[in-house]
Amino acid sequence: MATRIGVDIGGTFTDLVYYDDETGETVEGKVPTVPHAPEEGVVNAVKGHVPREVIEKAEFFLHGTTVGLNALLERRGAKVGLITTEGFRDVLEIRRGDRAEMYNLFWKQPEPLVPRHRRLEVVERIKADGSVYRPLDEASVAPALAALVAEGVDTIAVCLINAYANPAHELRVEELLRAGGFTGGISLSHKISGEYREYERTSTTVIDAFVRARMSNYLKRLDGRLRELGFKGTSLITRSGSGSMTFAEAEDRPFETIMSGPVAGAQGASEVAQMLGIEALITADVGGTSFDAALILNGQPQVLYEGTIDNMPIQTPWVDVRSIGSGGGSIAHIDVGGLMRVGPRSAGAAPGPACYGKGGTEPAMTDAAGYLGMLGPGKLASGITLDFEKARAAIEPVAAAIRQDVETTAIGILRIASSSMANAMREVSVEQGLDPRTMTLLPFGGAGPLMATLLADELKMNRIVVPPLAGNFSAWGLLGADMVQSAARTRIMDLSPESIETVNAVLRDLFADIATRGDHLSRETVKTARIDLRYKGQEHWLSIEVPLDGETVAESAEGVRAAFTAEYLRSFGGTMTEAVEIVSIRATVRAPLPRRNQTLKPPEVSTEAEESVLAYSFGCRKRMPFRVVPRSAIVEPLQGPAIVTESTATLYLDADWTASTGDRGELVLVRSEAN
Amino acid sequence: MLAHDTVLHRAGVARSGNAAKADPITTEVVRHALNSAANQMKRALVRTAFSPVIYEVLDFAVAIYDPQMRLLAQAPSLPMFMGTLNFCVEEAVKNIGGTENMFPCDMIMYNWPYGTGSHPQDLAVINPVYLDDGELIGYTAIKGHWLDIAGKDPYCTDTVDVFQEGTIYPGVKIYKRGELNDDIYRMVLANSRVPKFVAGDLNAQVVGCRVGAAGFLEVVNRFGRDEFRNAVENMFDHGERVVRSYFESIPDGRYVGHGEMDSNGITDDKIPFEVVVEIEGSNVRLDFSNVPETQVGPVNCPVPSTISASRVAISMLAGYGEAPHEGHFRPVEVVTRPGTMFHPLPPAPCFLYGWPALQAIEVIYNAISKALPDAVPAQSGGCICSVVSWGTREATGEPWADGSPHPTGQGAWNGGDGGTMLHISESATRFSPIEVWEAKNPWMMDKLALAQDSGGPGTWRGGLGVDFHFRMTEDIFITTAVERTKNAPWGLLGGESGRANGAAVRFPDGRVVSVPKTTRFMVPKDAVLELSTGGGGGFGDPAERPRAAVEADLKAGYISEAFAREHYPHAFGEAAE
């Protein structure tokens, strides 16, 4: 057990949660994000909400940030040079031929991160089986280096064709660049990814080179500021593929953190699922501008192995979180054909929804919810009192355009938003061969609890778990992020007893490679391995976890095949008789953080006079009185309709739902008829 | 006025409910839910499919229809297949003897080209969907490209009738009330050079149709059939208004677009054709009646694909980026003349139906450019530049096959230089990474590079073409289908042409053979297939291209200095800094 502090930087707010191991207390806080100097927001949050003695005794600082992501999106990164195999410098620019917006005649790819004049070729060629077709012409490296130095590049990315199968030439190019006097960063593709697909690997390598310096500077600055505040423990940052890594390692492999934004929520959801023994859970993270859904099966998030940012692929594990542009700030508007649409445009933080009274005049989803009474009396913890008259005024013109009254229109805004969120959740589930009706919904984020019963009704789900600190849940999720390191290598071969030997050899290499990345894993570690397998001839693969004995696969080829077949059947509803082929091998080392022994204050009967509001019930299709109850006062099961308030979120409990407080501070909502 | 020998095609005008009774909110919710069901179908197909043609090239269409065969939703896949499945659902149902011979959990296979619009390799699986009380509520359907269906060759550019092109399944039940029809299944496997792939892809189509049916039923059951139907009518009316609002902004008139095919695959004569776009108010009529007679070679485009090409062109312009449904097609009328290359009659060969169809999309834009040049881009390379290859592996004796389209330069438009991508008719398709190719196919790439000076000059320049050099490591057979090698991509408003497409085989002895359209051509070990895809046309006078942009192109090597001096002399003068 260990005291720890988690800080998650969002677009609008920087959220903090700390866990004090001595008292078992979990405390939350929120400060505005400082966009130009995100570490200042972090420092403000820590200074403002964490007592000095807690900072000093904290063993871990866990961090979620979009610094790397923003560097990419805003194209503020290093000046990168790229070295490729002769004949292939345009791989990065030609890409794969597709359009992100397929019905848009004028869509065009964004500019590549490395312009053509900084992409240079060297003479060499390796074949797909790793054999050398043309040895590296060392004389061709010097002119490339000279040209890049003349361009003043900060870092050099090297991605040679088929380097995943044989890294010798990349390694030699690095030696020659150093021998030639280059002192900047060098990113070698086989170290970054190790997987095949040259465009995707090049893109990943270039992203690494592009964000590395910025990320490294940021992490150094932040670590320094934390030390000044008295922090003496280990600083960790979340990985896109779940878990965390030390700042030192993140400086070395920054691309592994790029897609970590929505991961902390999925991480927390996994912990809740494990804590409560929930087999299949789907998250609904509703923020101001976006809605994120993730599946948590048997306490684990689903991990994918290639992602895309701003149309640039990244070959790295990432938690499969599906986002759509729908949230509390999503604006209702009339389209060219005269129908009402909701989102994806958002009122954002400024001006925000009309009812915030900060100058917004267009109707946001929050305005509709507020107008319908779903936010209760509208006194937010931040001190803002929502102005529902402004909400009504904003909805009116849209209502007139579709010839409906304001009430019907507000209901419609909620129905459209919740149905598109539900569609996203349904697609994520069906894709895994699962029926949402059999799953538990875990809503969080500022507007998650507001939408919870609506989404469950759309999907015919019968059980909802609202986690503690729902509005700050991502930061809470950070606190459980075990340290994780992983490496992968493509090695295509038939699955056979002999190839399992090759897998073992590759695993030895991969674990050895991981071991060189730092000694902070001296604590107890758990090694795991996965093999990506497919039917021969197919391109798509499934990643199957295999049991290990030390660093060796403790399963026969037949056993691995059986596990693959079972997973294939589960995912696709059928199997084939084809031979099975190994594609890639993945090694992971996990150093679990000490368990937290979380206790939350037991609920107390409130002595304050209870309020009630006349709010719309979607279940009963009419307005009715909703009790307004503080979350901390739910001792006995609370039968809806009710509005449950807490400091960072408001729960809308529709008439046919009942809420009870669970042992771990969670609220469990069940549909009344399912009682 | 229509000539007596032409046929007018319109979108479905049947009504099943009352739009006026639908509330706008439910309409929007139903629209989302139908698209989501179609997406679920697509994901199931892509994840289960066996051949890269499905999961990478996206050579399929996935759609949901109502009992009147009107398109409810189509998942993003190959735009070229936009709105084509209604014809084959209609024909397939007719051929099994009508809806009275159709039962829950039946799956019908259909690939007669004059009903699908495609070549026989594009096979549709159709799944009728019933409510619990037995009422037919519609269909889910998936048309997918099969790697081989026992045509005279795996891929052909030289067929002279449809029977050379593959096995025909004229509407047969592969599943009867949920039971696999083993007799048909064995016929399917027996009629392919790569039965494993075909078995895998057929299975994926069946799985996809079932997933779609479950999603579709859920939507209908959630609202009840009456409310659902009213919402659907309202959704169609809305889509129609969206498209009409676009055409109201284009001046009324009769605009003629000109295209030209290189050859019909049998004879080498060029085939000019024209498409007339007539706009009147918010109505748009695309007239294909003044096109050449049915060709002796396979460049005939059956009516469903002629209509589909029209729908793609219009939806891309006027659909505001939305997933299409029947309503979007209502303002569009298409006129064809039976017996022509855009309305061939059986048994005319149509293996390369897609090539005139995809060119027609840009010919329609060519016509519209005469009304509003800013509304459309200049021409792209104008082809998908397909190469299909197959053989027997030396080491194992195993048969193999692969095929891919290739990217070309895209046309510039007022406001942007062209990019380098696949043709707009395959806008979401990807070609394989070369490391994936090399891991499984007997070739090594010598080169994958943007071709200097290939983009058409202009104020905005065309996108660059690409040089692909495939060095064979074993003897292999190829079929190439590369069009627009005799005509360079057109520029607009003073913009100049880009480079035309080309394909050639360079033999080890130095001999070079041009192979734009060739079937079963043997490329021996160590020979190199050099595919040089075209560059996009430019937009606007090159003299207006900013000097800085010319200098940037020079620095990047997109253009050579000689080319720059020829086309952009203003960038070299003593002009002001």
Q: What's the gap in Å between the CA of B156 and the closest CA on chain A?
A: 23
Alpha-carbon gap: B438 to the closest alpha carbon of chain A (Å): 6
Q: Rounded CA gap, B318 and B250, in Å?
A: 11
pLDDT at B215: 92
Q: Is B256 part of a structural domain of the chain? A: no
Name the residue among A590, A583, A650 with its Cα closest to residue A615: A650
Inspect the interface and report whether the beta carbons of B436 and A197 lie closer than 8 Å. yes
Note whether B448 and A125 are within 8 A (CB): no
User: Based on the number of CB atoms within 10 Å of its own CB, is A193 exposed (0-12), middle (13-18) or buried (19 or more)?
Assistant: buried
Residue A335 CA to residue B27 CA, distance in Å, equals 13
Residue B81 pLDDT:
82
Taking an 8 Å cut-off on Cβ atoms, the answer to whether B377 and A106 are in contact is: yes
| Mean pLDDT along residues B366-376 | 94
Preferred mutation among A430, A542, A570 to probe B, highest tally of B CBs within 10 A: A430
A window 537-596, beta carbon within 8 A of B: 537-540, 571-574, 576, 578
Mean pLDDT along residues A283-294: 90
B174 & B31 share domain: yes
- Give how far the C-alpha of residue A150 lies from the chain's centroid of Cα atoms, to the nearest Å: 39
Residues with Cβ within 8 Å of B566's Cβ and at least 6 positions away in sequence, in order, are none
Minimum CA–CA partner of B451 in chain A: A90
List the one residue out of A246, A128, A136, A256 whose CA is nearest residue A187: A256
User: Cβ contact (<8 Å) for A109 and B421?
Assistant: yes
Q: What is the pLDDT of residues A605-628, one digit of tens each?
A: 666 778 899 999 999 999 999 999
Concatenated DSSP letters of B178-239: TEE-HHHHHHHHHT-SSHHHHHHHHHHHHHHHHHHHHHHHHHHHHH-HHHHHHHHHHHHHHH
Q: Is residue B36 part of a domain?
A: yes
Residues ≥6 apart with Cβ < 8 Å to B97: none
**CA A535 → CA A53, A576, B205, B442, B558, distances in Å?**
57, 8, 18, 20, 42
Cα A478 to chain centroid, rounded: 11
In-domain check, residue B355: no
Q: What is the pLDDT of residues A168-190, one digit of tens each?
A: 999 999 999 999 999 999 999 99
Show residues of chain B in contact with A161, CB under 8 Å: 434-435, 445
Mean pLDDT, rounded, for B276-297: 96
Q: Is the pLDDT of residue B575 over 70?
A: no
Whether A196 sits inside 8 A of B435 (CB atoms) is: yes
- Which residues in A lie closer than 8 A to residue B539 (C-beta atoms)? none
* Token code pair at residue B220: 């209908």
pLDDT at A382 over 70: no
Distance CA(A439)–CA(A460), nearest Å, equals 10
Least confident of A518-532, A575-589, B501-515: A518-532
* Distance (Å, whole) CA B326 – CA B332: 11
**CA distances from residue B235 to A34, B74, B192 in whole angstroms, order as listed:** 44, 14, 42
Residue B62 lies in a domain: yes
In this structure, are strands A291-297 and A280-286 parallel, antiparallel, or unpaired?
A: antiparallel
Secondary structure (3-state) at B42 = helix
pLDDT tens-place string over residues B323-366: 889 999 999 999 999 999 999 999 999 999 999 999 999 999 99
Nearest CB among A96, A101, A196 relative to B439 is that of: A196
Q: Is the pLDDT of residue A297 over 80?
A: yes
Choose among B25, B207, B413: nearest Cβ to A572.
B207
pLDDT tier at A674 (50, 70, 90 boundaries)? very low
Which of A267-271, A307-311, B514-518 has the lowest average pLDDT?
A307-311
Given this model, what pLDDT does residue A69 score? 84
Better-scored residue on pLDDT, B446 or B11: B446
Distance between CA atoms of residues A388 and A654, nearest Å: 20
Place of tokens 């012409």: A137
**E strand or H helix at A23, and its extent?**
none
Rounded-to-integer distance, Cα B139 and Cα B70, Å: 10
pLDDT reported for residue B455: 98
Bridge-based pairing of strands A303-304 and A300-301 is unpaired
**Cα separation of A470 and A125, whole Å?**
54
Which residue's entry shows tokens 């080209």?
A: B113
Which residue is it, tokens 């009402």? A340
Q: Give the CA dihedral A79, A83, A87, A88, nearest 10 degrees.
A: -60
pLDDT at B171 over 90: yes
Indicate the residue of B32, B207, B316 with minimum beta-carbon distance to A419.
Answer: B32
Residues from chain B that touch A435, judged by Cβ atoms under 8 A, are: none
Name which of A89, A116, A198 is nearest B435 (Cβ-Cβ).
A198
A336 and B44 in contact by Cβ < 8 A? no
Could you give the CA distance from residue B306 to residue B334 in angstroms, rounded to a whole number? 8
pLDDT above 70 covers what percent of chain A? Answer: 96
Instruction: Say yes or no for a CB contact (<8 Å) between B24 and A339.
Output: yes
Q: pTM for this one?
A: 0.92
Which among A125, A198, A411 has the least Cβ separation from residue B433? A198
Domain ranges of chain A: 77-208, 483-591
What confidence score (pLDDT) does residue A620 get?
95
In a domain, B310, yes or no: no
Structural domain harbouring B486: 377-577
Chain B contact for A333 (CB, 8 A cutoff) = no
How far is the C-alpha of A638 from the C-alpha of A607, rounded, in Å? 16
Which residue type is seen at B364? I
Strand order through the sheet with B502-506: B443-450, B466-472, B528-532, B502-506, B512-514
Residue of B nearest to A424 (CA): B36
A145: part of which helix (H) or strand (E)?
helix A141-151
Say yes or no: A108 contacts chain B, CB-CB below 8 A: yes
Nearest CA among A206, A200, A198 for reference residue A75: A206
Span A207-244, pLDDT tens digits = 999 999 889 999 999 999 999 999 999 999 999 988 89
Of the partner residues B428, B435, B445, the one whose CB lies closest to the CB of residue A99: B428
- The answer to whether A476 and A26 have CB atoms below 8 angstroms apart is yes
Q: Between these two residues, B30 and B249, which has the higher pLDDT value? A: B30
Nearest chain B residue to A110 by CA distance is: B419
Q: Would the CB atoms of B33 and A96 count as touching at under 8 Å?
A: no
Closest CA to B44 of B219, B217, B203, B197: B203
Cβ(A220)–Cβ(A67) below 8 Å: no
Coil, helix or strand for A70?
Answer: helix
For chain B, what is the mean pLDDT? 94
Query: CA B106 to CA B129: how far, in whole Å?
Result: 9
Mean pLDDT within B134-140: 97
Please enumerate in sequence order all residues whose Cβ is within 8 A of that of B91, keeping only pairs 6 or more positions apart, or say none. B110, B112, B115, B171
Q: Return the DSSP state at A449.
A: H
Quick: pLDDT tens for B82-115.
778 999 999 999 999 999 999 999 999 999 999 9
Which region among A156-165, B404-413, B427-436, B439-448 has the lowest average model confidence (pLDDT)? B427-436
Q: Is the pLDDT of residue A263 over 70?
A: yes
Sequence-ordered list of residues with C-beta below 8 angstroms from that of B552, at least 6 positions apart, any chain: none
pLDDT (average), residues B135-149: 95
Architecture of domain A483-591: 2-Layer Sandwich (3.30)
- The total of other beta-carbon atoms located within 10 Å of residue A595's CB is 11
Question: Half-sphere exposure of residue A89, counting CA atoms within 13 Å on the CB side?
Answer: 19
Q: A103 and B446 in contact by Cβ < 8 A?
A: no
Interface contact flag, A420 B32, Cβ < 8 Å: yes
User: CB-CB: which of B239, B319, B447 is closest to A103?
Assistant: B319
B176 falls within a domain: yes
Q: Is the preceding peptide bond at A641 cis, omega within 30 degrees of 0?
A: yes
Structure tokens at A167: 């890294």
Alpha carbon of A502: minimum distance to chain B alpha carbons (Å): 18
CB burial of A420-448 (b: ≥16 within 10 Å; e: otherwise) equals: bbbbbbbbbbbbeebebeebbbbbbbbbb
Contact between B438 and A200 using a beta-carbon 8 Å cutoff: no
- DSSP readout, B375-394? GS----S-S--EEEEEEE-T
Per the DSSP assignment, residues forming a β-bridge with B123 are B144
Cα B122 to Cα A257, B88, B165: the distances in Å are: 43, 11, 11
Q: Where do runs of H (alpha helix) occur along B302-440?
A: 303-318, 326-329, 354-369, 434-440
ipTM: 0.94
Chain B residues with CB under 8 Å of A426 CB are: 36, 40, 215
Contact at CB, A93 and B33, closer than 8 angstroms = no
Q: Which residues is A468 bridged to in the sheet? A: none
SS3 B544: helix
Q: Which of A90, A196, A437 to mutate to test the interface with B (most CBs of B within 10 A)?
A: A90
Residues in chain A within 8 Å Cβ distance of B406: 97
For the ranges A115-124, A356-365, B99-108, B491-500, which has the lowest average pLDDT?
A: A356-365
Query: Which residue of chain A is at minimal alpha-carbon distance from B467?
Result: A87
Distance in Å, alpha carbon of A536 to nearest chain B alpha carbon: 10
Among all residues of chain A, which has the CA nearest to that of B473?
A: A127
Q: Chain A contacts of B197, Cβ < 8 Å?
A: 537
Cα(A344)–Cα(A363) distance, integer angstroms: 13
Residue numbers in A near B56 (CB within 8 A): 539
Please give the pLDDT value at position A600.
61
Comparing alpha-carbon positions, the chain A residue that sits nearest to B27 is A339
Q: Does A197 sit within 8 Å of B320, measured CB to CB?
A: no
Q: Measure CB to CB from residue B28 to each of A108, A341, A411 and give the nearest one.
A: A341
Among B243, B263, B290, give the residue marking a domain's end. B243
Q: What angle do CA B513, B383, B307 make, to 5 degrees?
A: 140
Question: How far is the alpha carbon of A101 from chain B, nearest alpha carbon, in Å?
Answer: 8
Element (H, E) at A310: none
Interface check for A150 against chain B (CB to CB < 8 A): the answer is no
Residue B86 resides in a domain = yes
B290's CB contacts (< 8 A; 6+ apart) are: B273, B274, B276
What is the dihedral angle through the alpha carbons of A18, A22, A25, A26, rounded to the nearest 10 degrees? 20
How many structural domains compose chain B? 2
Is it true that domain A77-208 has CATH number 3.40.50? yes
Give the nearest partner residue to A578 out of B196, B406, B421, using CB atoms. B196
pLDDT of residue B577: 43
Both structure tokens of A672: 């009344």
Chain A residue with the nearest C-alpha to that of B415: A106
- List strands edge to edge, sheet with A60-64: A25-32, A13-20, A4-9, A60-64, A234-238, A244-246, A483-494, A580-591, A526-535, A542-546
Question: What's the CA gap between B324 and B82, in Å, rounded?
Answer: 8
Spell out which residues of chain B touch residue A87, defining contact as CB-CB under 8 Å.
445-449, 469
- CB-based contact, A90 to chain B, within 8 Å: yes
A161 to chain B, any CB pair closer than 8 A? The answer is yes
Q: What is the pLDDT of residue B561?
A: 97
CB contact under 8 A, B407 and A93: no
Closest-CA residue to A410 (of A353, A367, A356): A367
Residue B275 included in any domain? no
CB pairs under 8 A between A and B: 201
